[in-house]
């Protein structure tokens, strides 16, 4: 069969943003290609945390067999203390990204999208009446419009803006030490560990998976010099065998900065658009939401035959209103909290009412703006309260040791 090469929409990248965008376009009846660099399932370095907010926005039900673990609470750690918050309701789930992304891509295919894998796009060009994407093997695909969902290292953004400056990106390192499923359940009890003493302008995490834990660390490049040394210390602090584990790294863009997201015949979404929470590093839900928004804008553009930069610019405004604006509040919170002396940061980390509210952000129930609006008028009371009440306990011995006990 001759492979089709001309489409209404080309979606670059089959991550959560691209798969969601392609599913929506194909479902609306448009000829859609989703071009992915790797063969699927492909591995993707990620904690795999999906908040309830993300699950609600997926647009399809997540099969239960893809759930590695539930998120029922958090253990939030500071320099020498920790607070354990157990939630009344599940805040989200953890998935394996290779499986999850493959599931999303297959669901786009089921709706009629043409999934073209093993095809790295080497060049994207805007021609007079179409977009041209040239792959590494020489194949050329054309379309009326391009949805750039090729992540932080992709190339679609070149048609819209320059590469992000180092001050607007971060770096994450992660490793998955294997562990017996019963040990993961017993030690973490479906709680995620957030260690804010592990990195400035970032944090360390330990997330339960089915038969391993995701252990990672991330932070803003500017404040995250020597990331491997920081990761090594984090692993040792939690008693993992740092020498035995092969740590990998991957960049992450920081959201909350106003950047162009569209240009003539091009819309960016997900990491390609830089839509990641700069405080928590959560990006999957914003990838899914912006992927859908990009698809709707592309559908509108095709129906109206309007692909000029000006008419697509409404997408930038809509995404800023829906996502960017709140990520700006997350950025402010990051700067205030991490810019403070460590003792002030310690106060927040030990204050249960603050942490309980904060976990509502993790589950996607609360926006950063509302959190800050709640916090500011209560600060004097919270400071006074902290003099008389101790919510925290000393940091528990390393999760690594407990897991090894089996
Ligand atoms: C270590 C780490 C841990 C994280 N943990 C979490 C977490 O627990 N929860 C959370 O919500 N977020 C997490 N994130 C962020 C999250 O991984 C991203 O925000 C999310 O993957 C963005 O989805 P996306 O679809 O925009 O991009 P991606 O998932 O990066 O997908 C982009 C796709 O495009 C493909 N591609 C790239 N270039 C080309 C090309 N030239 N041609 C064709 N295809 C191309 C890639 O192969 C990839 O499949 C983490 C990030 C890191 C680095």
Phi (first) and psi of residue 202, to 5 degrees: 180, -165
H or E segment to which residue 143 belongs: strand 140-148
Question: Can you give the pTM of this predicted structure?
Answer: 0.97
The answer to whether residue 79 sits within a structural domain is no
Rounded to whole angstroms, the Cα distance separating 273 from 319 reads 10
Quick one: which atom of ligand 1 is closest to the CA of 121? 42
Site to probe by mutation for ligand 1, drawn from 281, 285, 291 as the one with most ligand atoms within 8 Å of Cβ, is 281
Q: Give 305-326 pLDDT, tens digit per residue.
A: 999 999 999 999 999 999 999 9
- Three-state secondary-structure class, residue 300: helix
The answer to whether residue 40 sits within a structural domain is yes
The answer to whether residue 146 sits within a structural domain is yes
The residue whose CA is least distant from atom 50 of ligand 1 is 46
Quick one: which atom of ligand 1 is closest to the CA of 154? 38
Site to probe by mutation for ligand 1, drawn from 135, 283, 323 as the one with most ligand atoms within 8 Å of Cβ, is 283
Rounded to whole angstroms, the Cα distance separating 406 from 403 reads 6
Confidence of residue 63 (pLDDT cuts 50, 70, 90): very high
DSSP of 10-34, one letter per residue?
EEE--SHHHHHHHHHHHHTT--EEE
User: How many angstroms is it from 271 CA to the middle of ligand 1?
Assistant: 6
What residue numbers bound the domain in which 24 lies? Answer: 6-68+94-165+255-330
Q: Give 252-293 pLDDT, tens digit per residue.
A: 999 999 999 999 999 999 999 999 999 999 999 999 999 999
Count of structural domains, the chain: 1
Task: Please tell me the predicted confidence (pLDDT) of residue 341.
Answer: 66
Question: How many CB atoms are closer than 10 A to CB 318?
Answer: 17
Evaluate whether 282 touches 49 at the Cβ level (below 8 Å): yes
The residue whose CA is least distant from atom 17 of ligand 1 is 46
User: How many angstroms is it from 188 CA to the middle of ligand 1?
Assistant: 26
Phi (first) and psi of residue 189, to 5 degrees: 50, 45
Q: Residue 110: which CATH number?
A: 3.50.50.60
H or E segment to which residue 336 belongs: helix 325-339
Question: How many CB atoms are closer than 10 A to CB 394?
Answer: 8
Task: Please tell me the predicted confidence (pLDDT) of residue 277.
Answer: 97
Question: How many CB atoms are closer than 10 A to CB 138?
Answer: 7
Confidence of residue 2 (pLDDT cuts 50, 70, 90): low
Rounded to whole angstroms, the Cα distance separating 130 from 6 reads 10
The answer to whether residue 372 sits within a structural domain is no
> Has residue 112 got a pLDDT over 90?
yes
Q: DSSP state, 111?
A: T
Rounded to whole angstroms, the Cα distance separating 406 from 401 reads 9
Confidence of residue 113 (pLDDT cuts 50, 70, 90): very high
User: How many angstroms is it from 86 CA to the middle of ligand 1?
Assistant: 29
For the residues 4-14, what does the mean pLDDT come to? 96
Q: Measured between alpha carbons, how far is residue 21 from residues 111, 157, 247 in Å?
A: 11, 16, 32
Evaluate whether 281 touches 172 at the Cβ level (below 8 Å): yes
Pocket of ligand 1 (CB under 6 A): 12-18, 35-38, 44-49, 120-121, 149-151, 153-155, 172, 174, 216, 250, 252, 270-272, 276, 281-285, 287
Rounded to whole angstroms, the Cα distance separating 210 from 315 reads 39
Nearest to residue 8, comparing CAs of 302, 290, 295?
302
Evaluate whether 348 touches 338 at the Cβ level (below 8 Å): no
The answer to whether residue 15 sits within a structural domain is yes
> Has residue 348 got a pLDDT over 80?
no
Task: Please tell me the predicted confidence (pLDDT) of residue 392.
Answer: 83
Task: Look at the block and give the residue holding tokens 């071009």.
Answer: 35
Task: Please tell me the predicted confidence (pLDDT) of residue 1.
Answer: 60
Task: Look at the block and give the residue holding tokens 């589950």.
Answer: 363
Evaluate whether 16 touches 270 at the Cβ level (below 8 Å): yes
Nearest to residue 160, comparing CAs of 265, 311, 253?
265
Q: Give 78-89 pLDDT, tens digit per residue.
A: 888 899 999 999
Task: Please tell me the predicted confidence (pLDDT) of residue 245.
Answer: 95
The answer to whether residue 294 sits within a structural domain is yes
Evaluate whether 375 touches 357 at the Cβ level (below 8 Å): yes
Q: What is the chain's mean pLDDT, rounded?
A: 94
The answer to whether residue 211 sits within a structural domain is no
The answer to whether residue 41 sits within a structural domain is yes
Evaluate whether 361 touches 371 at the Cβ level (below 8 Å): yes
The residue whose CA is least distant from atom 2 of ligand 1 is 46
């Amino acid at each position: 069969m001759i492979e089709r090469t001309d489409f209404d929409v080309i979606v670059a990248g089959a991550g959560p943003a691209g798969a969601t965008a392609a599913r929506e376009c194909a479902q609306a009846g448009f000829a859609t290609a989703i071009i992915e660099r790797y063969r699927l399932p492909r591995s993707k370095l990620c904690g795999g945390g999906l908040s309830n907010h993300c699950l609600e926005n997926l647009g399809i039900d997540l099969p239960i067999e893809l759930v590695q673990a539930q998120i029922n609470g958090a253990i939030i750690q500071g320099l020498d203390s920790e607070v354990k918050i157990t939630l009344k309701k599940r805040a989200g789930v953890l998935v394996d990204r290779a499986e999850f992304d493959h599931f999303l891509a297959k669901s786009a295919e089921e709706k009629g999208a043409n999934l073209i894998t093993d095809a790295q796009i080497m060049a994207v060009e805007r021609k007079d009446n179409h977009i041209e994407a040239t792959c590494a093997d020489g194949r050329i695909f054309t379309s009326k419009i391009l949805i750039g969902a090729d992540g932080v290292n992709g190339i679609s953004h070149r048609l819209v803006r320059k590469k992000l400056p180092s001050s607007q990106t971060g770096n994450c390192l992660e490793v998955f030490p294997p562990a017996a499923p019963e040990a993961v359940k017993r030690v973490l009890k479906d709680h995620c560990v957030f260690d804010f003493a592990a990195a400035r302008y970032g944090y360390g995490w330990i997330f339960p998976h089915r038969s391993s834990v995701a252990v990672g660390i991330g932070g803003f490049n500017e404040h995250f010099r020597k990331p491997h040394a920081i990761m090594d210390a984090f692993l040792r602090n939690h008693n993992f065998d740092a020498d035995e584990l092969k740590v990998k790294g991957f960049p992450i863009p920081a959201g909350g900065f106003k950047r162009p997201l569209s240009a003539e015949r091009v819309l960016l979404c997900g990491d390609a658009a830089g839509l990641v929470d700069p405080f928590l590093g959560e990006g999957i839900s914003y990838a899914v939401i912006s992927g859908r928004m990009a698809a709707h804008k592309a559908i509108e553009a095709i129906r109206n035959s309007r692909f000029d930069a000006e008419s697509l610019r409404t997408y930038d405004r809509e995404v800023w209103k829906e996502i960017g604006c709140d990520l700006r509040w997350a950025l402010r919170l990051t700067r205030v909290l991490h810019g403070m002396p460590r003792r002030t940061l310690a106060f927040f980390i030990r204050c249960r009412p603050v942490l309980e509210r904060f976990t509502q952000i993790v589950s996607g129930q609360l926006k950063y703006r509302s959190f800050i609006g709640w916090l500011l008028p209560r600060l004097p009371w919270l400071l006074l309260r902290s003099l008389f009440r101790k919510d925290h306990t000393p940091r528990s011995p390393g999760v690594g040791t407990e897991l090894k006990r089996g």
